Structure formats: C-alpha cells, structure tokens
Amino acid sequence: MDRLHARYPFFVAAREAVDAAAVDLGELVAREDDPAVDRAVERVTAALTEHSTGEMRRDARTELLSYPVARVLVSLVDDHAVTGTYANAEAATAYERIVADLDTSSQLKSTSGSSLTVERLLSEFDLSDDVQPADGSAGTGGEDRYHVSVTAYLRLAGDRDEDAWRLPRRSLADGRVPVSRTELLTLLRGAVEERVAEGLPFEVPEAIGAHLTEEIAAIEEVLSDPPLPTEFDAARPELFPPCVTALLERARAGEEIPDHSWYTLCGFCATVGVSADELVTLVQPDDGVEERIRYQLDKLAGEDGVEYPPPSCSTVQDYGDCVNQDEVCAEISHPLSYYEQRLETSDN
C-alpha cells in the first residue's frame, strides 16, 4: 500500500486503494489483534485527548486501514462532539503533514509517481476552479499568492474566529479573495475537516459493531476522564514532571530530539504559561533550535489559550520519553495533572 495514501487516508485514491485491495472491514475487526484496529482506537483517543491522530505507524497497511476503522468507531460512539473533535484532529494532523510534505526537497511521491503539490490538493478537494495563482506571484522569491472564490472562501474559512479571516478585512476583487500560500493551506485544512466529517456518523452493521465493544469501552473511558487542568498561576520548572525535565535537559545538551518529543515539551510549556522567550532562556539553544521553539509555541497558541495540550502519560510512554518516574507519577495519567498536584502540595 502507498505511503502517500497512508499519510492522507481521506484522499479519494486512498479509499479506492482500500476498495481495490478488497478489504472486508467485518473480517478485519473480527481478527484477533489486528494492528489496524489498535491504531484506529489510538486515532480516536488521541483526537479526544491531544487534538492529533497519534503517532503514525511505519506499516502503510496498518495506517491506511486504521482510518476506515476509526470512522466506524466514531460512528458507534455516535456523539456530535466526538465526531467534530475527531474530524478537527484529522485535519490538524493532515495540515502538519501537508506543510512538511510540500516543503520537503524530495517531494513525497505515491506509487503511481504523482507528488503532493498544491495543485494536486486543489484537485483532490475539487477546488481547482475556485483557486487560481495570483498573476506574477509564483516563483518571485516571496510567498506565492492565490485568489480564492468568495464561495469557497466562506465555506472553508467561515468557522474561523480570528478577525483576520473575516471577509470585510479582505480586499475582495472580482468575487475573489486574495490569500497567501500559508493561508491557502489553512483553508485546505478546512477542506480536509469537511471531507473527514462527511457521512459521519453512519449506520454500522451489527456484525461489525459486535466485534468492537472493547474498543468502544476504551474510547468511552477516555470520554469519562475529568477535564485536564489547563490554567496555572505560575510556571515553576522545578515542579515540572520528570519526563519534561528530561526533555529540557536533552534540549539543553543540544541532543537531536524527535518531533513528537518536541511537541510534548513545547505543548507542556505553552500550557503551563512558559513563553517562547522563557523557554529559549531555559534551553539556551542554537539559532536553528530557537527558531523551532518559537515556531512551535506560536503554533500551539490559540486565541483562547493553548489549543493543543501535551500528550497523556501513556502516549509519552509509547514515545519512550517517560523516564525517572517518581511517587506522584503513580497517581496521575497526564503530565499536566502531575504539575497541578506538585503545585498544590508545594510550600509556596
């Protein structure tokens, strides 16, 4: 199965690849320990807890098939908020991948030889007629600019709260809205969300649902978890959980840190109120890493606070970053809960 399809399982071609492989979802979920089912549960639980879809598996089959199974799980849970959160998380993950794949010098190619390009994305979401490159903007050294039809713009940016996206703030010309390439990719994130949400929830045949009772129970357990603490009065690094302290030390030592670990570190710091300047002071990175820290914290910050909290302890464990556990770790399931507890029990 194709790596491009595994990264973008909502593409029409990915769905066709699943059809062509004649995969029977009923047989797949009935199989003991099929990795695609475990990955599907993670897709949904990570969406609920971290607003991402969790760590991608190396095996393209597992990754690709986990998507239709995750849609089955979301349909079985049948909760409007879960459906919305899931679609949003798939879109957030896709956005990260699109940005990375478009910027990579060796373009990601499918087995059919086609690469991920802006044009391909526009065609995928039937937006080729709605979005045109602005005359003379491409290849001039600055950021490419595009003109988006008002209808498509309103459809894809309509839910965005930020003032900058409101139509009166835009210089409309001939029924088209000028946008930068970065803004266009944000609009495409909206298109992904729309695609993922399409048709959810659907009626799941009893024969399939009967094999997923444990998986549904695992998702419902996550739903019943108390909300994460996200408001803190003080940022006190001496009370940070051992996993975050260890990541800070590794960053300070100039170690190469994988993306998901940076996400844990920056997500935690952003949520507890460490600013980009403060984190730079704590890590004392070289220029390249400083840029990365500032970019990541900027990305995590939403208008109403941090949009995406750091991952739970079980995910941090999966990443291999759960180290030096202490007695508080035995009582919590999230690094933010650890910090909350340490703040409550510290003397001042």
Residue type, 192: V
Give the nearer residue to ligand SF4 in terms of CB position, either 141 or 226. Answer: 226
Question: Footprint of ligand SF4 on residues 33-52 (CB under 6 A)?
Answer: none
Q: Are 248 and 256 in contact (CB under 8 A)?
A: no
Smallest separation, CB 341 to ligand SF4 (Å): 10
Q: How many residues bind to ligand SF4 according to rule CB under 6 A?
A: 10
Got the DSSP string for 8-44? Answer: -TTSHHHHHHHHHTT--HHHHHHSTT-HHHHHHHHHH
- Taking CB under 6 A as the criterion, the residue among 42, 196, 322, 340 binding ligand SF4 is 322
User: Does 316 engage in binding with ligand SF4 (CB under 6 A)?
Assistant: yes
Smallest separation, CB 342 to ligand SF4 (Å): 10
What b/e readout covers 234-271, taking b as 16+ CB neighbours within 10 angstroms?
ebbeebbbbbbebbbebbeeeeebeebbbbbbbbbbbb
- Taking CB under 6 A as the criterion, the residue among 64, 98, 338, 340 binding ligand SF4 is 338
Smallest separation, CB 295 to ligand SF4 (Å): 24
Smallest separation, CB 296 to ligand SF4 (Å): 19
Residue with tokens 């030390």: 249
Q: Which tokens hold the place of 315?
A: 């995910």
Question: Footprint of ligand SF4 on residues 230-259 (CB under 6 A)?
Answer: 241-243
Minimal CA–CA distance to 321: which of 93, 43, 55, 86? 55
Distance CA 45, CA 86 (A): 9
Give the nearer residue to ligand SF4 in terms of CB position, either 1 or 316. Answer: 316
Give the nearer residue to ligand SF4 in terms of CB position, either 180 or 341. Answer: 341
Q: Are 271 and 308 in contact (CB under 8 A)?
A: no
Q: Are 48 and 219 in contact (CB under 8 A)?
A: yes
Under DSSP, the state recorded for 109 is B
User: Does 336 engage in binding with ligand SF4 (CB under 6 A)?
Assistant: no
Give the nearer residue to ligand SF4 in terms of CB position, either 9 or 335. Answer: 335
Contact segment (CB under 6 A) with ligand SF4 among 43-51, 84-92, 137-145, 322-330 equals 322-330
Q: Which tokens hold the place of 22?
A: 């004649």
Smallest separation, CB 337 to ligand SF4 (Å): 8
Smallest separation, CB 115 to ligand SF4 (Å): 38
Q: Which tokens hold the place of 96?
A: 């990260």
Give the nearer residue to ligand SF4 in terms of CB position, either 35 or 273. Answer: 273
Under DSSP, the state recorded for 133 is E
Smallest separation, CB 333 to ligand SF4 (Å): 7
Question: Footprint of ligand SF4 on residues 130-189 (CB under 6 A)?
Answer: none
Question: Footprint of ligand SF4 on residues 296-315 (CB under 6 A)?
Answer: 313
Distances (CA, A) of 121 to 11, 65, 188, 221: 9, 21, 8, 36
User: Does 127 engage in binding with ligand SF4 (CB under 6 A)?
Assistant: no
Distance CA 130, CA 184 (A): 12
Smallest separation, CB 266 to ligand SF4 (Å): 15
Contact residues: ligand SF4, CB under 6 A? 241-243, 313, 316, 322, 325, 329, 335, 338
